[in-house]
Amino acid sequence: MKPKRHKFLRAICIITFALISGAQSIHAQSDHLLQLGRIVSGNRDSITTAVKAIADQNDLAYYALMTALFNGELYLKNGELVVIGDLQEDDYGDSFAPLYTAYPQRQPILNADGNPLIAPLIDFEEIDSNRRIRALIQPYLTRMEIFHPDPIKRRIAAETLGNRGDVTAIATLRNALKKEPDSNIQNLIHVALGKLELTSPNPDIRLNAAKTLKERNNTFVLSFLRARIEPDANGAIPESNPAVQSEIRKTIQWLETFEQIMVVIQTTFVGISLGSILILIALGLAVIYGQIGIINMAHGEFMMVGAYFTFIVQNICLIVLPAAYIDLFFLLSLPIAFFAAGSMGLLIETAVIRHLYNRPLESLLATWGISLILIQLARTIFGDLTAVKLPQILSGGFELAPQVILPYNRLFIIGFTCLILIALIAFFFKTRFGLCLRAVTQNRDMSACMGIPTRRVDAIAFFVGTGIAGIAGWAMTLIGNVVPNMGQTYIVDAFLVVVVGGVGKILGAVVAGLGIGISNKVIEPFAEAVYAKVLILGLIILFLQLRPTGIFPAKGRHEDE
């Protein structure tokens, strides 16, 4: 009898559970139909009641409907709720719009041919919402956007709940934390939880919240923490527990220290980034000035040539390549920018500069005139402003801390500058031409006596120097627009890098470029950018008075005499 009795009881339990589940499902379905019916009615009081009920449920299935109601995109068509898309107009001024489902997700409504259904707005009845209804919807949308597929919406929702939420949002944040795959957004959710839990009536929860905020290293909570332990307008201190007050003070002290560390890191990174740009521009100038002794005032314009050829390659790729491969233009334009700028430099060296050796004033004026010609030519062909699209892989940045983001494009320029330095050092010290170039730099007459074709070495050096300037222009398209006078912005700083580092010295250009770049960014917080440059220039003049040959002076027979 016992086995039969057990089977009977088990069957009773299964039937009871099924009845309860079914009743709950029927109740949920009826409640859903009730809320939709209230919205369909178009009565504002009924809509307000439905919005309150939906907001209390925290059901993500209503997100599309509530968003459409909030944005004024919810309409009634043949007794059904639909969401309209972007409006279109025909030749007669009538408005049309594609239709989407409002519940449970926003999905395109298709016609009989399987294409998106586009209908005239005259056939619809708008479900109107007022300011009160939108105010009720907003908190629901914020809570639901913490689960949104878009990480930007989740990030904004986490910050909003931490700043404007209350203890009722803690459960939503904890649930979101379990499902969040992004570590940066997880950190923001932890911070939001800490801020909300600091308002809890339980002192143990507040103590743990203060510790959590200390671990998260988010300095944006400093003002919030200070407000918890400082008297308010009535003279009362919000945090009354001494242990919690002590922990909050420790958290504030650490976050202030952490903020100072991050400022140093940010300043150093920006300085290295600026220094890398100066190094990249000055490398070609160091080759030309160190080898030939020509003060090439048109060097910045060869950088401009590289930037404009990058722009040209981009436009060609937009026509030729499929959309998925458009970003390949940036890689393809690198050798083109180098050879275009180098070839133009070789042409100018052959036609003009070769005839002005040992005539420094004439060569300076000639290269200055060439720079003006190139600037005007670029302005005539391309106009005053063009831009190169930033490759998708280099957009965004590495989040070192909530207040410190290192952009990928500047990280790329730093890394690329290191690669160019390695390649140039290998070219100078591991090739036969590099040996000839160094020999001519140290003693031109003796090199000619040894059979080295000094004129050919000069031409190739000019080609390489201007080609590197073209590469600098290619890299500069990542951080700025392409304009005809873009080279004029950096030419003076580039000459300073070459002179301070030592004529023709690659290592000197690196040290001087980084020094000038970091010094600029260190001084700028204490003085305006213009005054910072003036101060840097004064320090450079003082340095050259003490050491005229630069950090790494040139060595050669003529230096010993």
pLDDT digits (tens, 9 = 90+) for 486-497: 888 778 888 888
Radius of gyration of the chain (CA): 34
CATH (domain of 523): 1.10.3470
Is 374 contained in some domain?
A: yes
The residues, ordered by sequence, that sit 6+ positions from 539 with a Cβ below 8 Å of its Cβ are 519
pTM of the model: 0.73
Poorest-pLDDT segment among 253-262, 402-411, 420-429, 549-558: 549-558
Helix H or strand E encompassing 405: strand 404-407
**352 pLDDT above the threshold of 70:** yes
Residue 416 has pLDDT above 80, yes or no: yes
Looking at the structure, tell me whether residues 123 and 183 fall in a common domain.
Answer: no
Checking if the pLDDT of 294 tops 80, the result is no
150 falls in which pLDDT band (50, 70, 90)? confident
Segment 551-556 shows an average pLDDT of 65
Specify the range with the lowest mean pLDDT, choosing from 227-241, 252-266, 304-318: 227-241
Is pLDDT at 501 greater than 60 in this prediction? Answer: yes
398 in a domain, yes or no? yes
Instruction: For residue 291, name the pLDDT band (cuts at 50, 70, 90).
Output: low
Instruction: Judge whether 327 lies within some domain.
Output: yes
Same domain, 299 and 176: no
Q: Is the distance from CB of 275 to CB of 518 less than 8 angstroms? A: yes
Are residues 387 and 511 both part of a single domain?
yes
Distance CA(83)–CA(25), nearest Å, equals 27
- The percent of residues above 90 in pLDDT, for the chain, comes to 16
Residue 1 has pLDDT above 60, yes or no: no
- Strand 125-126 vs strand 74-77: parallel, antiparallel, or unpaired? antiparallel
Structurally, how many domains does the chain consist of?
3
CA distance 251 to 453: 69
pLDDT at 437: 79
Average pLDDT (444-460) is 82
Structure tokens at 218: 């988010």
Residues 540 and 463 in one domain: yes
Phi, psi dihedrals of residue 145, rounded to the nearest 5°: -70, -10
Residues 58-108 have pLDDT tens digits of 778 888 888 888 888 888 877 788 888 887 777 666 778 888 888 878 888
Q: pLDDT at residue 227 above 80?
A: yes
Boundary-marking domain end, from 80, 100, 132: 132
- Flag whether 489 is in a domain: yes
Better-scored residue on pLDDT, 559 or 346:
346
Residues 191 and 330 both lie in one domain: no
* 294 and 378 assigned to the same domain: yes
**pLDDT for the residue 31:** 63
At 264, the amino acid letter reads V
Q: Is residue 255 part of a domain?
A: no
Identify the pLDDT of residue 532. Answer: 73
Residues 333 and 442 in one domain: yes
- Three-class secondary structure of residue 555 per DSSP: coil
Residue 111 sits in the same domain as residue 151: no
- pLDDT in the model for residue 248: 92
Distance CA 98, CA 110 (A): 9
Which among 132, 164, 184 is the end of a domain? 132
Q: Taken in order 408, 410, 414, 420, is the CA torsion positive or negative?
A: positive
> Is the model's pLDDT at 24 over the cut of 90?
no
Evaluate whether 342 touches 303 at the Cβ level (below 8 Å): no
Domain match, 201 and 319 both = no
Q: How confident is the model at residue 27 (pLDDT cuts 50, 70, 90)?
A: very low
| 313 has a pLDDT exceeding 90 | yes
pLDDT at 306: 93
Q: Is the pLDDT of residue 529 over 80?
A: no
* Cα separations in angstroms, 492 against 225, 469, 495: 47, 14, 5
CA distance 190 to 177: 8
Does some domain include residue 258?
Answer: no
pLDDT, average across residues 493-503: 80
Q: How far is CA 174 from CA 186, 220, 374, 495, in A?
A: 10, 21, 61, 57
Claim to verify: residue 270 and residue 416 sit in the same structural domain:
yes
Q: Residue 333 and residue 424: Cα distance in Å, rounded?
A: 20
Farthest CA pair distance, the chain: 120
pLDDT at 298: 87
Decide which of 132, 164, 197 is a domain's last residue: 132
Query: What is the C-alpha end-to-end distance of the chain, expressed in Å?
Result: 120
Q: In this structure, are 353 and 476 located in the same domain?
A: yes
Is the peptide bond between 242 and the residue preceding it cis, with omega within 30 degrees of 0? Answer: no
pLDDT tens sequence across 181-205:
988 888 889 999 999 998 888 989 9
The helix/strand/coil state of 189 is: helix
Q: Between 461 and 2, where is the model more confident?
A: 461
Q: Count Cβ atoms below 10 Å from residue 319 Cβ, excluding itself.
A: 6
Query: What mean pLDDT do residues 358-374 have?
Result: 85
The predicted pLDDT at position 121 comes to 75
| pLDDT for 220 beyond 70 | yes
Question: Is 365 part of any domain?
Answer: yes
Least confident of 12-21, 426-435, 529-538: 12-21
Sequence letter at residue 360: P
3-state secondary structure of 502: coil
pLDDT of 275 higher than 80: yes
Asked if the structure places residue 139 within a domain, the reply is no
Q: Which residues span the domain enclosing 219?
A: 146-240
Residues 455 and 485 in one domain: yes
Helix, strand, or coil here: 325?
A: helix
The model's confidence at residue 16, banded by pLDDT at 50, 70 and 90, is very low
